[in-house]
Chains A and B, each alone.
Chain A
Amino acid sequence: MMVKPCNVLSDRMPDVVSGGAHWTPEEEDHLSSCEECALEWQLVQRAGVLGDRVAAAVDPDAMAAKVVERLRHKPRVLPFRRPGWWAAGLAAAAAAIVLLLGPFGDRETGAGPSAEIVWLVPELDSLETTELLLVLNSFDPAAPASVMVVPFIDDLERQELEQVLQAWEG
């Protein structure tokens, strides 16, 4: 199938305007004789330099200083990860231990946690916030049966965000 020269030129225009390619003499001939291609070439050339004046007036070093200053004062948000099956298993195991051995320490006597419980504690350090909440919730008899951990909206992937918006908008 013969590809129309207009289509070939149209596809190549952004590459030529960015300096990554050059017109052949035949293409230049076509540009000077085809009104549609000439109009499109004018458009691409103008769009290619659009904003250059404004961008040149911006000082990238000053922008970097402002951004870095803000980053210094911005708390780093932990990425939200859904707890995996192992987290649920860990929570269940922890809950079972608590049920069998009682909560940490004896509230009436003030005694500390039993040795069987203490060995679990170092592993808690490696948990994400959401996972830790699940485990802690299982220790607290006053807590509701489940804790809903809500991620920050900024942490959602695009598809997740679209699902949330669709749910809101019906």
Chain B
Amino acid sequence: MGFPLESGSLSDAELAAAYRAGHERAATELVTRHTRAVVRFLYSAGAGEDEVDDLTQEAFIKAFGKLDSWRGDAAFRSWLLTIAGNLLKDQFRKRKGRRMVALDERELPDRADPHGELAAGEAEQQLREGIALLPRLQREVFLLRVQQGADYAEIARALDTTPGAARVHYHHAVKRLKERLR
């Protein structure tokens, strides 16, 4: 099978099939397409900035290693993010239960605008802490819904649950996060 030069026009499923058939460029396209979503997901869920790169790489390596288990009923990105979520869970375990790393100086915004950006940085950190402390399903449902715009049916397929249960997890997550914002 030839591999088209315009691989950007191929669906994720077509790229996955092309990779299975031995086309390395299909892997390149899939990684390029989904890298930023994985990074956002991991960082939002509590990964430190210095951990995000390695965890993202690892998520892709794992995904390609078990591509045969991607049934194709869930979107590739949602499936990939659940793999990233698994890795982050292991990372939390390695940190001996600490779900958030201390805010690194590098992660703080420029102090030239102490009232604006610093406050925004603290608010961001507070939200990340809140998300990291959620139970895993609540955390993943919330991020898939809010950041990826996935509907409950799609989330249910990715997380192997029901749309009704996904909806309940979402609303529990929102309730807990609102409590932290008050």
Contacts and interface: CB of A to CB of B under 8 A. Distances in A.
Contacts of A40: 174, 178
Given A39-B182, A40-B174, A50 B65 contact: no
A15 B147 CA distance: 10
Contacts of A79: 68-69
Which of B31, B57, B124, B182 has the most C-beta atoms of chain A within 10 angstroms of its own C-beta? B31
Interface string A138-157: 00000000000000001101
Interface in A92-150: none
Interface string B161-182: 0000000000100100110011
Given A10-B174, A40-B174, A63-B57, A68 B31 contact: yes
A43 interface: yes
Interface residues of B, number: 48
Contacts of B148: 18
A71 interface: yes
B66 A47 contact: no
Interface residues of A, number: 42
A78 to B, nearest CB: 10
Contacts of B68: 79
Contacts, number: 121
B40 A63 contact: no
Contacts of B53: 58, 63
A165 interface: no
B145 A14 contact: yes
B32 A14 contact: no
Which of A18, A51, A56 has the most C-beta atoms of chain B within 10 angstroms of its own C-beta? A51
Nearest to A19: B149
Interface in A47-98: 47-48, 50-52, 54-56, 58, 60-61, 63-68, 70-72, 74, 76-77, 79
Interface of B: 24, 27-29, 31-33, 35-37, 39-44, 49, 52-53, 56-57, 60-62, 64-66, 68-69, 123-124, 127-128, 131, 142-143, 145-149, 160, 171, 174, 177-178, 181-182
Which 9 A-B pairs have CB atoms at the shortest separation, nearest pair first?
A51-B40, A18-B149, A64-B31, A60-B35, A51-B43, A55-B36, A60-B32, A50-B44, A55-B39
9 contacts: A36-B178, A42-B181, A43-B127, A55-B36, A58-B53, A60-B33, A63-B31, A70-B57, A157-B69
